Structure 1
Amino acid sequence: MVIKIGAKPTAPPAKPGLLFEAEKHLYRMNTFTNSPEYRRVSGVTTVIGSTLNKPALVDYKMNSVARAVRENLADVLAMHADVKASRLHPFDFDKKLIAMSEVRRDRAAARGTAVHAAAEKVADGQKVSVPKELQKPVDHYDKWLYDNDVEVVLKERPCGNRTHWYAGTFDLICKFHRGAYAGQTWMVDLKTSNQVYGETALQTIAYKNCEFYVDEDQIDRPMPEVEGIGVLHLTKEGAFLHPLGDMQAASDEFAAILLLFNSRKRRDGLIRRAS
Protein backbone atom coordinates (compact mmCIF):
# COMPACT_ATOMS: atom_id res chain seq x y z
CA MET A 1 0.00 0.00 0.00
CA VAL A 2 1.39 3.37 -1.05
CA ILE A 3 0.51 6.44 1.01
CA LYS A 4 1.20 9.78 -0.56
CA ILE A 5 3.14 12.23 1.57
CA GLY A 6 0.85 14.80 3.09
CA ALA A 7 -2.29 12.70 2.54
CA LYS A 8 -4.81 12.81 5.38
CA PRO A 9 -6.47 9.57 6.52
CA THR A 10 -10.17 9.36 5.75
CA ALA A 11 -12.48 8.04 8.41
CA PRO A 12 -14.70 5.17 7.32
CA PRO A 13 -18.35 6.12 6.76
CA ALA A 14 -20.55 5.89 9.83
CA LYS A 15 -22.84 2.91 10.16
CA PRO A 16 -26.35 4.00 11.21
CA GLY A 17 -27.60 2.62 14.48
CA LEU A 18 -30.85 1.56 12.85
CA LEU A 19 -31.87 0.10 9.50
CA PHE A 20 -35.56 0.14 8.56
CA GLU A 21 -37.34 -2.01 5.98
CA ALA A 22 -40.50 -0.02 5.23
CA GLU A 23 -42.26 -2.84 3.34
CA LYS A 24 -42.03 -5.15 6.35
CA HIS A 25 -42.05 -2.33 8.93
CA LEU A 26 -38.95 -4.03 10.33
CA TYR A 27 -36.14 -2.44 12.34
CA ARG A 28 -32.61 -3.77 12.68
CA MET A 29 -30.25 -2.24 15.24
CA ASN A 30 -26.51 -2.66 15.60
CA THR A 31 -25.08 -3.82 18.90
CA PHE A 32 -23.05 -0.64 19.48
CA THR A 33 -22.31 2.61 17.62
CA ASN A 34 -20.74 1.94 14.20
CA SER A 35 -20.89 -1.83 14.72
CA PRO A 36 -21.36 -3.81 11.48
CA GLU A 37 -23.45 -6.40 13.34
CA TYR A 38 -27.22 -5.81 13.17
CA ARG A 39 -30.00 -7.74 14.84
CA ARG A 40 -33.75 -7.50 14.54
CA VAL A 41 -35.34 -5.21 17.11
CA SER A 42 -39.00 -4.67 17.99
CA GLY A 43 -40.56 -1.27 17.38
CA VAL A 44 -42.26 0.66 20.15
CA THR A 45 -45.71 0.46 18.54
CA THR A 46 -45.31 -3.33 18.15
CA VAL A 47 -44.28 -3.75 21.79
CA ILE A 48 -47.29 -1.78 23.02
CA GLY A 49 -49.81 -3.07 20.49
CA SER A 50 -48.89 -6.73 21.10
CA THR A 51 -49.07 -6.44 24.87
CA LEU A 52 -51.61 -3.84 25.94
CA ASN A 53 -55.28 -4.67 25.85
CA LYS A 54 -57.18 -2.09 23.79
CA PRO A 55 -60.95 -2.46 24.25
CA ALA A 56 -61.63 0.53 22.00
CA LEU A 57 -59.68 -1.13 19.18
CA VAL A 58 -61.54 -4.42 19.63
CA ASP A 59 -64.87 -2.59 19.48
CA TYR A 60 -63.72 -0.70 16.40
CA LYS A 61 -62.80 -3.92 14.59
CA MET A 62 -66.12 -5.59 15.48
CA ASN A 63 -68.06 -2.53 14.34
CA SER A 64 -66.03 -2.43 11.13
CA VAL A 65 -67.01 -6.01 10.27
CA ALA A 66 -70.68 -5.28 11.04
CA ARG A 67 -70.55 -2.14 8.86
CA ALA A 68 -68.86 -4.05 6.03
CA VAL A 69 -71.65 -6.65 6.03
CA ARG A 70 -74.35 -3.96 6.08
CA GLU A 71 -72.78 -1.86 3.34
CA ASN A 72 -71.85 -4.83 1.13
CA LEU A 73 -74.70 -7.20 1.94
CA ALA A 74 -75.31 -8.36 -1.66
CA ASP A 75 -71.62 -9.20 -2.15
CA VAL A 76 -71.44 -10.95 1.23
CA LEU A 77 -74.50 -13.07 0.42
CA ALA A 78 -73.04 -13.95 -2.97
CA MET A 79 -69.77 -15.03 -1.36
CA HIS A 80 -71.71 -17.06 1.21
CA ALA A 81 -73.57 -18.82 -1.60
CA ASP A 82 -70.21 -19.65 -3.19
CA VAL A 83 -69.07 -21.17 0.12
CA LYS A 84 -72.24 -23.30 0.30
CA ALA A 85 -71.66 -24.45 -3.27
CA SER A 86 -67.98 -25.20 -2.51
CA ARG A 87 -66.85 -22.59 -5.04
CA LEU A 88 -65.18 -20.56 -2.30
CA HIS A 89 -63.24 -21.89 0.68
CA PRO A 90 -64.55 -20.63 4.07
CA PHE A 91 -61.07 -19.32 4.85
CA ASP A 92 -61.16 -17.18 1.70
CA PHE A 93 -64.63 -15.93 2.65
CA ASP A 94 -63.25 -14.78 5.99
CA LYS A 95 -60.28 -13.07 4.32
CA LYS A 96 -62.52 -11.21 1.87
CA LEU A 97 -64.87 -10.07 4.62
CA ILE A 98 -61.95 -8.85 6.73
CA ALA A 99 -60.59 -6.97 3.71
CA MET A 100 -63.97 -5.27 3.26
CA SER A 101 -63.96 -4.24 6.92
CA GLU A 102 -60.49 -2.68 6.65
CA VAL A 103 -61.27 -0.28 3.80
CA ARG A 104 -62.17 2.59 6.15
CA ARG A 105 -59.16 1.88 8.36
CA ASP A 106 -56.82 1.95 5.36
CA ARG A 107 -58.32 5.24 4.17
CA ALA A 108 -57.85 6.74 7.63
CA ALA A 109 -54.25 5.48 7.73
CA ALA A 110 -53.55 7.01 4.31
CA ARG A 111 -55.09 10.28 5.49
CA GLY A 112 -52.94 10.25 8.62
CA THR A 113 -49.79 9.56 6.60
CA ALA A 114 -50.60 12.45 4.25
CA VAL A 115 -51.22 14.86 7.15
CA HIS A 116 -47.97 13.77 8.83
CA ALA A 117 -46.02 14.33 5.60
CA ALA A 118 -47.55 17.77 5.17
CA ALA A 119 -46.96 18.62 8.84
CA GLU A 120 -43.28 17.72 8.48
CA LYS A 121 -42.93 20.24 5.64
CA VAL A 122 -44.88 22.87 7.56
CA ALA A 123 -42.51 22.42 10.50
CA ASP A 124 -39.67 23.26 8.09
CA GLY A 125 -41.43 26.48 7.16
CA GLN A 126 -42.45 25.20 3.73
CA LYS A 127 -45.74 25.98 2.06
CA VAL A 128 -47.65 22.83 1.20
CA SER A 129 -50.51 21.97 -1.09
CA VAL A 130 -52.82 19.24 0.18
CA PRO A 131 -56.27 17.93 -0.78
CA LYS A 132 -59.15 20.03 0.52
CA GLU A 133 -60.19 17.47 3.13
CA LEU A 134 -56.72 17.62 4.71
CA GLN A 135 -56.28 21.38 4.59
CA LYS A 136 -57.81 22.27 7.95
CA PRO A 137 -55.70 19.92 10.13
CA VAL A 138 -52.56 21.12 8.36
CA ASP A 139 -53.54 24.78 8.74
CA HIS A 140 -54.30 24.24 12.43
CA TYR A 141 -50.87 22.67 12.90
CA ASP A 142 -49.24 25.67 11.24
CA LYS A 143 -51.20 27.99 13.54
CA TRP A 144 -50.26 25.94 16.62
CA LEU A 145 -46.58 26.25 15.73
CA TYR A 146 -46.96 30.02 15.36
CA ASP A 147 -49.14 30.62 18.43
CA ASN A 148 -46.70 28.79 20.70
CA ASP A 149 -43.57 30.03 18.88
CA VAL A 150 -42.51 26.40 18.56
CA GLU A 151 -38.87 25.66 17.78
CA VAL A 152 -38.55 22.30 16.06
CA VAL A 153 -35.55 20.59 17.65
CA LEU A 154 -35.92 17.25 15.82
CA LYS A 155 -38.63 15.59 13.75
CA GLU A 156 -39.26 12.16 12.30
CA ARG A 157 -35.98 10.58 13.42
CA PRO A 158 -35.32 6.88 14.11
CA CYS A 159 -34.21 6.22 17.67
CA GLY A 160 -33.13 3.20 19.67
CA ASN A 161 -32.41 1.81 23.10
CA ARG A 162 -29.72 -0.88 23.06
CA THR A 163 -29.90 -1.57 26.80
CA HIS A 164 -33.55 -2.64 26.64
CA TRP A 165 -33.45 -3.49 22.91
CA TYR A 166 -36.27 -1.58 21.25
CA ALA A 167 -36.50 1.10 18.58
CA GLY A 168 -38.93 3.42 16.81
CA THR A 169 -39.36 6.74 15.03
CA PHE A 170 -40.62 9.75 16.95
CA ASP A 171 -42.70 12.55 15.43
CA LEU A 172 -41.44 15.71 17.09
CA ILE A 173 -39.14 17.11 19.74
CA CYS A 174 -39.86 20.81 20.13
CA LYS A 175 -39.18 23.75 22.40
CA PHE A 176 -41.94 26.20 23.31
CA HIS A 177 -41.04 29.89 23.37
CA ARG A 178 -44.56 31.14 24.06
CA GLY A 179 -47.66 29.88 25.86
CA ALA A 180 -48.21 27.74 28.95
CA TYR A 181 -45.07 25.65 28.39
CA ALA A 182 -42.68 28.43 27.35
CA GLY A 183 -39.05 27.45 27.92
CA GLN A 184 -39.79 23.71 27.98
CA THR A 185 -38.72 21.04 25.49
CA TRP A 186 -41.24 18.27 24.83
CA MET A 187 -41.51 14.96 23.04
CA VAL A 188 -44.77 15.25 21.06
CA ASP A 189 -46.65 12.61 19.08
CA LEU A 190 -48.97 13.78 16.29
CA LYS A 191 -52.33 12.02 15.92
CA THR A 192 -55.01 12.46 13.26
CA SER A 193 -57.41 9.77 14.51
CA ASN A 194 -60.93 10.55 15.69
CA GLN A 195 -59.82 10.26 19.31
CA VAL A 196 -56.57 10.26 21.26
CA TYR A 197 -55.81 8.16 24.33
CA GLY A 198 -53.64 8.39 27.41
CA GLU A 199 -51.75 5.26 26.36
CA THR A 200 -49.77 7.50 23.97
CA ALA A 201 -47.79 8.33 27.12
CA LEU A 202 -46.20 4.89 26.76
CA GLN A 203 -45.16 5.61 23.19
CA THR A 204 -43.72 9.05 23.86
CA ILE A 205 -41.86 7.99 27.00
CA ALA A 206 -40.33 5.04 25.14
CA TYR A 207 -38.93 7.44 22.54
CA LYS A 208 -37.83 9.88 25.23
CA ASN A 209 -35.89 7.07 26.96
CA CYS A 210 -34.06 6.01 23.81
CA GLU A 211 -30.29 6.27 24.07
CA PHE A 212 -29.65 7.65 20.59
CA TYR A 213 -31.27 8.91 17.41
CA VAL A 214 -29.92 8.67 13.86
CA ASP A 215 -29.35 12.04 12.22
CA GLU A 216 -29.66 12.95 8.52
CA ASP A 217 -26.03 11.91 7.98
CA GLN A 218 -26.74 8.44 9.45
CA ILE A 219 -24.72 9.17 12.56
CA ASP A 220 -25.83 8.15 16.06
CA ARG A 221 -26.49 11.13 18.33
CA PRO A 222 -27.50 11.26 22.02
CA MET A 223 -31.19 11.97 22.58
CA PRO A 224 -31.94 15.52 23.74
CA GLU A 225 -33.34 16.03 27.23
CA VAL A 226 -37.07 16.80 27.40
CA GLU A 227 -39.22 18.18 30.22
CA GLY A 228 -42.58 16.93 29.02
CA ILE A 229 -44.44 14.46 26.83
CA GLY A 230 -47.67 15.10 24.96
CA VAL A 231 -49.95 14.17 22.10
CA LEU A 232 -51.02 16.79 19.57
CA HIS A 233 -54.46 15.98 18.15
CA LEU A 234 -54.84 17.44 14.65
CA THR A 235 -58.51 17.75 13.69
CA LYS A 236 -60.70 19.83 11.40
CA GLU A 237 -61.63 21.94 14.45
CA GLY A 238 -58.12 22.68 15.67
CA ALA A 239 -54.79 21.43 17.00
CA PHE A 240 -55.09 20.35 20.63
CA LEU A 241 -52.08 19.51 22.79
CA HIS A 242 -52.76 17.02 25.58
CA PRO A 243 -50.02 16.75 28.24
CA LEU A 244 -49.35 13.11 29.12
CA GLY A 245 -48.56 13.47 32.77
CA ASP A 246 -45.79 12.20 35.00
CA MET A 247 -42.88 10.87 32.96
CA GLN A 248 -41.57 8.59 35.72
CA ALA A 249 -44.95 6.86 36.01
CA ALA A 250 -45.11 6.44 32.23
CA SER A 251 -41.54 5.11 32.22
CA ASP A 252 -42.36 2.52 34.90
CA GLU A 253 -45.46 1.46 32.97
CA PHE A 254 -43.60 1.05 29.69
CA ALA A 255 -40.92 -0.99 31.49
CA ALA A 256 -43.68 -3.34 32.72
CA ILE A 257 -45.08 -3.68 29.20
CA LEU A 258 -41.62 -4.35 27.79
CA LEU A 259 -41.09 -7.06 30.41
CA LEU A 260 -44.35 -8.76 29.45
CA PHE A 261 -43.55 -8.45 25.74
CA ASN A 262 -40.07 -9.94 26.10
CA SER A 263 -41.26 -12.81 28.31
CA ARG A 264 -43.91 -14.15 25.90
CA LYS A 265 -41.74 -17.06 24.74
CA ARG A 266 -41.18 -18.21 28.31
CA ARG A 267 -44.92 -18.34 28.97
CA ASP A 268 -45.66 -19.97 25.63
CA GLY A 269 -43.18 -22.72 26.48
CA LEU A 270 -44.72 -23.57 29.84
CA ILE A 271 -47.25 -25.94 28.27
CA ARG A 272 -46.30 -28.32 25.52
CA ARG A 273 -49.16 -28.94 23.14
CA ALA A 274 -49.47 -32.08 21.07
CA SER A 275 -48.66 -31.44 17.42
Structure 2
Amino acid sequence: MTSIVDMLPKPFLVWWAARMAAETAVGNLAAVTAIAERDATGAVDYLRHAHARYTKSRAKVGSEAHDLFERMMRAETIGRVHPDLEPYREGFAEFLDVVRPELVRAEDIAWSDTHEYAGSFDAILRVRLGEDGKPDHVSGEWHTLIVDWKTSKSTYPDVALQMAAYAHADKLIAPDGTTEPMPEFDGAAVLHITPDGWEFLPVRIDAEVFDIFLTLRKVFRWDREISKTVLGRAIASGVRRLVTGTQRRA
Protein backbone atom coordinates (compact mmCIF):
# COMPACT_ATOMS: atom_id res chain seq x y z
CA MET A 1 0.00 0.00 0.00
CA THR A 2 2.83 2.40 0.84
CA SER A 3 4.43 1.70 -2.52
CA ILE A 4 1.17 2.63 -4.25
CA VAL A 5 0.87 5.95 -2.39
CA ASP A 6 4.52 6.62 -3.26
CA MET A 7 3.45 6.84 -6.91
CA LEU A 8 2.16 10.32 -6.04
CA PRO A 9 4.60 12.95 -7.39
CA LYS A 10 6.65 14.59 -4.63
CA PRO A 11 8.93 17.12 -6.31
CA PHE A 12 9.53 18.91 -3.01
CA LEU A 13 11.61 15.94 -1.84
CA VAL A 14 14.35 16.91 -4.31
CA TRP A 15 14.72 20.34 -2.73
CA TRP A 16 14.47 18.88 0.77
CA ALA A 17 17.27 16.41 0.06
CA ALA A 18 19.40 19.19 -1.44
CA ARG A 19 18.82 21.36 1.63
CA MET A 20 19.76 18.48 3.95
CA ALA A 21 23.04 18.06 2.05
CA ALA A 22 23.74 21.79 2.19
CA GLU A 23 22.95 22.05 5.92
CA THR A 24 25.18 19.03 6.63
CA ALA A 25 28.04 20.63 4.70
CA VAL A 26 27.69 24.01 6.43
CA GLY A 27 27.28 22.45 9.85
CA ASN A 28 30.28 20.14 9.46
CA LEU A 29 32.70 22.16 7.36
CA ALA A 30 35.84 21.05 9.18
CA ALA A 31 34.90 17.36 9.08
CA VAL A 32 33.84 17.48 5.42
CA THR A 33 37.08 19.27 4.48
CA ALA A 34 39.15 16.69 6.35
CA ILE A 35 37.34 13.82 4.62
CA ALA A 36 37.63 15.49 1.19
CA GLU A 37 41.41 15.94 1.56
CA ARG A 38 41.79 12.17 1.96
CA ASP A 39 38.84 10.90 -0.07
CA ALA A 40 36.87 13.28 -2.27
CA THR A 41 34.41 10.57 -3.27
CA GLY A 42 33.81 9.69 0.37
CA ALA A 43 33.06 13.33 1.18
CA VAL A 44 30.55 13.51 -1.66
CA ASP A 45 28.89 10.30 -0.50
CA TYR A 46 28.72 11.61 3.08
CA LEU A 47 26.84 14.70 1.92
CA ARG A 48 24.57 13.09 -0.66
CA HIS A 49 23.36 10.51 1.88
CA ALA A 50 22.54 13.13 4.53
CA HIS A 51 18.79 12.91 3.86
CA ALA A 52 18.85 9.09 4.00
CA ARG A 53 20.60 9.12 7.40
CA TYR A 54 18.04 11.58 8.74
CA THR A 55 15.13 9.51 7.39
CA LYS A 56 16.57 6.34 8.91
CA SER A 57 16.98 7.94 12.34
CA ARG A 58 13.45 9.34 12.25
CA ALA A 59 12.07 5.97 11.16
CA LYS A 60 13.72 4.33 14.17
CA VAL A 61 12.10 6.83 16.54
CA GLY A 62 8.77 6.39 14.75
CA SER A 63 8.87 2.60 15.05
CA GLU A 64 9.72 2.74 18.74
CA ALA A 65 6.97 5.31 19.34
CA HIS A 66 4.41 3.16 17.52
CA ASP A 67 5.36 0.19 19.68
CA LEU A 68 5.01 2.36 22.78
CA PHE A 69 1.58 3.66 21.68
CA GLU A 70 0.23 0.14 21.12
CA ARG A 71 1.42 -0.96 24.56
CA MET A 72 -0.21 2.07 26.16
CA MET A 73 -3.45 1.46 24.23
CA ARG A 74 -3.47 -2.08 25.61
CA ALA A 75 -3.05 -0.68 29.13
CA GLU A 76 0.35 -2.27 29.67
CA THR A 77 2.39 -0.87 32.53
CA ILE A 78 4.99 1.43 31.05
CA GLY A 79 8.11 2.07 33.06
CA ARG A 80 10.86 4.50 32.21
CA VAL A 81 11.43 5.08 28.53
CA HIS A 82 14.38 6.49 26.62
CA PRO A 83 14.58 10.29 26.91
CA ASP A 84 14.00 10.58 23.15
CA LEU A 85 10.66 8.79 23.58
CA GLU A 86 9.49 10.57 26.74
CA PRO A 87 7.81 13.50 24.89
CA TYR A 88 5.86 10.98 22.80
CA ARG A 89 4.85 9.02 25.90
CA GLU A 90 3.63 12.18 27.57
CA GLY A 91 1.71 13.26 24.48
CA PHE A 92 0.05 9.89 24.02
CA ALA A 93 -0.88 9.69 27.70
CA GLU A 94 -2.57 13.08 27.39
CA PHE A 95 -4.40 11.93 24.25
CA LEU A 96 -5.72 8.89 26.11
CA ASP A 97 -6.89 11.08 28.97
CA VAL A 98 -8.59 13.68 26.75
CA VAL A 99 -10.16 11.46 24.07
CA ARG A 100 -10.59 8.21 26.06
CA PRO A 101 -10.57 5.90 23.02
CA GLU A 102 -11.55 2.24 23.14
CA LEU A 103 -9.26 -0.08 21.21
CA VAL A 104 -10.94 -2.38 18.68
CA ARG A 105 -7.92 -3.65 16.71
CA ALA A 106 -4.26 -2.69 16.38
CA GLU A 107 -1.50 -3.47 13.88
CA ASP A 108 -3.54 -5.88 11.74
CA ILE A 109 -3.41 -6.21 7.96
CA ALA A 110 -5.97 -4.56 5.69
CA TRP A 111 -6.34 -6.75 2.57
CA SER A 112 -8.11 -6.10 -0.71
CA ASP A 113 -8.68 -8.98 -3.12
CA THR A 114 -10.78 -6.69 -5.28
CA HIS A 115 -8.03 -4.18 -5.99
CA GLU A 116 -4.95 -6.26 -5.05
CA TYR A 117 -3.30 -4.30 -2.25
CA ALA A 118 -2.50 -4.79 1.41
CA GLY A 119 -1.05 -2.81 4.29
CA SER A 120 -0.75 -2.74 8.08
CA PHE A 121 -2.89 -0.16 9.85
CA ASP A 122 -2.13 1.34 13.26
CA ALA A 123 -5.48 1.08 15.02
CA ILE A 124 -9.24 0.90 14.89
CA LEU A 125 -10.72 2.93 17.74
CA ARG A 126 -14.12 3.77 19.13
CA VAL A 127 -14.42 7.33 20.40
CA ARG A 128 -17.34 9.22 21.86
CA LEU A 129 -17.90 12.55 20.10
CA GLY A 130 -20.42 15.35 20.45
CA GLU A 131 -22.22 17.17 17.65
CA ASP A 132 -19.28 19.58 17.38
CA GLY A 133 -16.90 16.69 16.70
CA LYS A 134 -15.16 17.13 20.04
CA PRO A 135 -14.81 14.46 22.76
CA ASP A 136 -18.02 14.15 24.79
CA HIS A 137 -17.82 11.41 27.41
CA VAL A 138 -21.34 12.02 28.75
CA SER A 139 -23.79 12.33 25.88
CA GLY A 140 -21.66 11.94 22.76
CA GLU A 141 -22.26 9.24 20.14
CA TRP A 142 -19.79 6.41 19.59
CA HIS A 143 -17.82 6.54 16.34
CA THR A 144 -15.67 3.79 14.87
CA LEU A 145 -12.54 5.30 13.33
CA ILE A 146 -9.58 3.98 11.39
CA VAL A 147 -6.63 5.75 13.01
CA ASP A 148 -3.01 6.39 12.09
CA TRP A 149 -0.20 7.54 14.40
CA LYS A 150 2.22 10.07 12.92
CA THR A 151 5.45 11.22 14.58
CA SER A 152 6.87 13.10 11.59
CA LYS A 153 7.47 16.84 11.60
CA SER A 154 4.22 17.48 9.74
CA THR A 155 1.08 15.65 8.63
CA TYR A 156 0.65 15.56 4.86
CA PRO A 157 -2.53 15.20 2.76
CA ASP A 158 -1.47 11.85 1.27
CA VAL A 159 -2.28 10.21 4.61
CA ALA A 160 -5.91 10.37 3.43
CA LEU A 161 -5.08 8.10 0.47
CA GLN A 162 -3.48 5.55 2.77
CA MET A 163 -6.37 5.60 5.24
CA ALA A 164 -9.04 5.46 2.53
CA ALA A 165 -7.32 2.32 1.24
CA TYR A 166 -7.45 0.75 4.70
CA ALA A 167 -11.10 1.62 5.17
CA HIS A 168 -12.16 0.29 1.75
CA ALA A 169 -10.24 -2.99 1.99
CA ASP A 170 -12.22 -6.23 1.84
CA LYS A 171 -10.99 -7.80 5.07
CA LEU A 172 -8.52 -7.61 7.91
CA ILE A 173 -6.04 -10.31 8.82
CA ALA A 174 -4.95 -10.88 12.42
CA PRO A 175 -1.43 -12.01 13.40
CA ASP A 176 -2.72 -15.58 13.87
CA GLY A 177 -3.93 -15.64 10.26
CA THR A 178 -7.65 -15.43 10.97
CA THR A 179 -9.66 -13.06 8.81
CA GLU A 180 -12.87 -11.11 9.11
CA PRO A 181 -14.64 -8.50 6.96
CA MET A 182 -13.38 -4.96 7.33
CA PRO A 183 -15.83 -3.15 9.63
CA GLU A 184 -17.85 -0.13 8.61
CA PHE A 185 -16.22 3.13 9.64
CA ASP A 186 -17.78 6.41 10.67
CA GLY A 187 -14.60 8.20 9.68
CA ALA A 188 -10.85 8.35 10.07
CA ALA A 189 -8.37 10.35 12.10
CA VAL A 190 -4.64 10.82 12.44
CA LEU A 191 -2.95 11.38 15.77
CA HIS A 192 0.03 13.62 15.07
CA ILE A 193 2.48 13.65 17.96
CA THR A 194 5.73 15.61 18.11
CA PRO A 195 7.92 16.60 21.06
CA ASP A 196 6.07 19.94 21.01
CA GLY A 197 2.52 18.63 21.31
CA TRP A 198 -0.22 16.57 19.66
CA GLU A 199 -3.32 16.90 17.48
CA PHE A 200 -6.10 14.44 16.70
CA LEU A 201 -7.20 15.38 13.20
CA PRO A 202 -10.18 14.11 11.17
CA VAL A 203 -9.28 12.68 7.75
CA ARG A 204 -11.46 12.27 4.65
CA ILE A 205 -11.74 8.69 3.39
CA ASP A 206 -14.74 9.04 1.07
CA ALA A 207 -15.22 7.62 -2.42
CA GLU A 208 -13.50 10.57 -4.10
CA VAL A 209 -10.32 10.09 -2.05
CA PHE A 210 -10.37 6.32 -2.54
CA ASP A 211 -10.75 6.82 -6.31
CA ILE A 212 -7.49 8.78 -6.32
CA PHE A 213 -5.81 5.87 -4.53
CA LEU A 214 -7.13 3.47 -7.18
CA THR A 215 -5.69 5.73 -9.88
CA LEU A 216 -2.31 5.45 -8.19
CA ARG A 217 -2.84 1.68 -8.08
CA LYS A 218 -3.02 1.77 -11.89
CA VAL A 219 0.13 3.90 -12.06
CA PHE A 220 1.84 1.37 -9.76
CA ARG A 221 0.88 -1.46 -12.14
CA TRP A 222 2.24 0.55 -15.05
CA ASP A 223 5.52 1.16 -13.22
CA ARG A 224 6.03 -2.40 -11.99
CA GLU A 225 4.47 -4.46 -14.79
CA ILE A 226 3.13 -2.86 -17.98
CA SER A 227 6.06 -0.49 -18.60
CA LYS A 228 8.36 -3.49 -18.93
CA THR A 229 6.30 -4.91 -21.81
CA VAL A 230 5.69 -1.95 -24.11
CA LEU A 231 9.03 -1.78 -25.97
CA GLY A 232 9.73 -4.60 -28.36
CA ARG A 233 12.79 -5.61 -30.33
CA ALA A 234 14.04 -3.22 -32.97
CA ILE A 235 12.32 -3.57 -36.34
CA ALA A 236 15.34 -1.97 -37.97
CA SER A 237 18.50 -0.23 -36.79
CA GLY A 238 21.61 1.50 -38.06
CA VAL A 239 25.25 1.73 -37.01
CA ARG A 240 26.91 5.11 -37.39
CA ARG A 241 30.44 3.96 -36.60
CA LEU A 242 32.11 1.91 -39.30
CA VAL A 243 33.60 -1.38 -38.10
CA THR A 244 36.49 -2.37 -40.39
CA GLY A 245 37.51 -5.88 -41.34
CA THR A 246 40.68 -5.50 -39.32
CA GLN A 247 38.65 -4.66 -36.21
CA ARG A 248 36.35 -7.63 -36.77
CA ARG A 249 39.32 -10.01 -37.14
CA ALA A 250 40.88 -8.60 -33.99
TM-score (norm 1): 0.73
Equivalent AA in structure 2 for residue 224 of structure 1: P
Give percent identity, aligned residues only.
27
Q: Which residue of 2 aligns with 1:266?
A: 226
Structure 1 pair 96/133, CA: closer, same or farther in 2 (3 Å)? closer
| Secondary structure of 2:121's aligned partner | strand
The whole-number CA distance in structure 1 between the counterparts of 2:153 and 2:84 is 14
8 Å contact from structure 1 (residues 161, 211) kept in 2: yes
Equivalent AA in structure 1 for residue 197 of structure 2: G
- 1:218 has 2:218 as partner: no
Q: Which residue of 1 aligns with 2:22?
A: 66
The whole-number CA distance in structure 2 between the counterparts of 1:97 and 1:218 is 44
CA shift digits 1:179-208 (9 cap, x unpaired): 526411111111001100111000111111
- 1:136 has 2:136 as partner: no
The whole-number CA distance in structure 2 between the counterparts of 1:213 and 1:119 is 20
| Secondary structure of 2:109's aligned partner | strand
- 1:248 has 2:170 as partner: no
Structure 1 pair 161/93, CA: closer, same or farther in 2 (3 Å)? farther
1:166 aligns with one of 97, 110, 117:
117
Q: Which residue of 2 aligns with 1:45?
A: 2
Q: Which residue of 1 aligns with 2:77?
A: 127
Structure 1 pair 74/271, CA: closer, same or farther in 2 (3 Å)? farther
CA shift digits 1:139-164 (9 cap, x unpaired): 22222223222111111112211221
Structure 1 unaligned runs (5+)? Answer: 1-43, 85-89
Equivalent AA in structure 2 for residue 130 of structure 1: V
- 1:147 has 2:98 as partner: yes
Larger mean Cα displacement after TM superposition, 121-130 or 250-259: 121-130
8 Å contact from structure 1 (residues 150, 178) kept in 2: no
Alignment of 1:178-257 (within 5 A): 178-179=129-130, 180=133, 182-257=141-216
Alignment of 1:85-124 (within 5 A): 90=41, 94-124=44-74
| Secondary structure of 2:85's aligned partner | helix
The whole-number CA distance in structure 1 between the counterparts of 2:187 and 2:76 is 27
Larger mean Cα displacement after TM superposition, 215-224 or 182-191: 215-224
The whole-number CA distance in structure 1 between the counterparts of 2:86 and 2:99 is 20
Structure 1 pair 133/164, CA: closer, same or farther in 2 (3 Å)? same
Q: Which residue of 2 aligns with 1:156?
A: 107
The whole-number CA distance in structure 2 between the counterparts of 1:185 and 1:238 is 24
The whole-number CA distance in structure 2 between the counterparts of 1:273 and 1:52 is 31
Q: Which residue of 2 aligns with 1:21?
A: none
8 Å contact from structure 1 (residues 157, 170) kept in 2: yes
- Structure number, greater radius of gyration: 2
C-alpha deviation, 1:228, in angstroms: 0.6
Q: Once superposed, what is the RMSD of the aligned Cα atoms? A: 2.4
